[in-house]
């Protein structure tokens, strides 16, 4: 159950309650008072790029980011969502393949944050390829654009 002091980030704004202190006595002690609720919109230029936005974890990351007011982009090999839900229409889908890093560089333009949700299970060589090489390619591409990953 949510209380009034928790951060509520829904839609395009967040609502929070700030506390203030003011001196109350000659000994310098402070009194803490609860202030009014302030709605603060997220920065309009925050854009998140999610690698693996079609997967189980990545799709939840995309959906949550949209609910928090971020612009969201995702890269998939097909260039479109494989998920049939309304929120996917608000994601900017790009076609790319992490094994061909040149195909993902344009999707990084204008992005302020990157999250990789790419992963897989299988043989050791397959897991190394998906969980290792693919993610390293994403990190290198983001670093070349000057982003922290």
The CATH number of 47-144 is 3.40.50.720
Print the SS3 string covering 13-71: EEEEEEEEEEECCCCCCEEEEEEEEEEECCCCCCEEEEECCCCHHHHHHHHHHHHCCCE
Strand order in the sheet with 8-10: 8-10, 13-23, 30-40
Query: Using one digit for the tens of pLDDT, what is the confidence trace for 44-100?
Result: 578 999 999 999 999 999 999 999 999 999 998 888 999 999 999 999 999 999 999
DSSP lists the bridge partners of residue 9 as: 14
- The per-residue pLDDT of the chain, averaged, comes to 80
pTM assigned to the model? 0.68
Do you know the residue count of the chain? 149
Instruction: Choose the weakest-confidence range: 6-20, 55-69, 98-112.
Output: 6-20
Task: Work out the pLDDT band at 5, boundaries 50, 70, 90.
Answer: very low
CB contact set of 128 (below 8 Å; sequence gap of 6+)? none
Residues 149/116, Cβ–Cβ less than 8 Å: yes
Query: What's the mean pLDDT in 4-29?
Result: 49
For residue 137, what is the DSSP state? H
pLDDT of residue 147: 80
12: alpha, beta or left? (left if phi > 0; alpha if psi -120 to 50): alpha
Residues 45/32, Cβ–Cβ less than 8 Å: no
CB contact set of 43 (below 8 Å; sequence gap of 6+)? none
Question: Which regions of the chain carry the CATH code 3.40.50.720?
Answer: 47-144
């Amino acid at each position: 159950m949510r209380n009034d002091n928790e951060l509520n980030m829904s839609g395009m704004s967040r609502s929070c309650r700030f506390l203030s202190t003011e001196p109350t006595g000659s000994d310098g002690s402070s009194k803490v008072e609860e202030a009014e609720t302030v709605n603060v919109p997220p920065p309009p230029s925050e854009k998140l790029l999610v690698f693996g936005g079609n997967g189980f974890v990545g799709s939840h990351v995309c959906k949550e980011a949209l609910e928090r007011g971020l612009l969201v982009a995702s890269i998939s090999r097909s260039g479109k969502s494989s998920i049939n839900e309304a929120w996917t229409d608000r994601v900017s889908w790009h076609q790319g393949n992490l094994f061909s890093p040149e195909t993902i560089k344009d999707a990084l333009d204008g992005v302020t944050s990157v999250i990789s949700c790419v992963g897989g299970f299988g043989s050791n060589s397959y897991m190394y390829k998906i969980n290792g090489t693919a993610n390293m390619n994403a990190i290198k591409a983001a670093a070349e654009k000057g982003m922290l990953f």
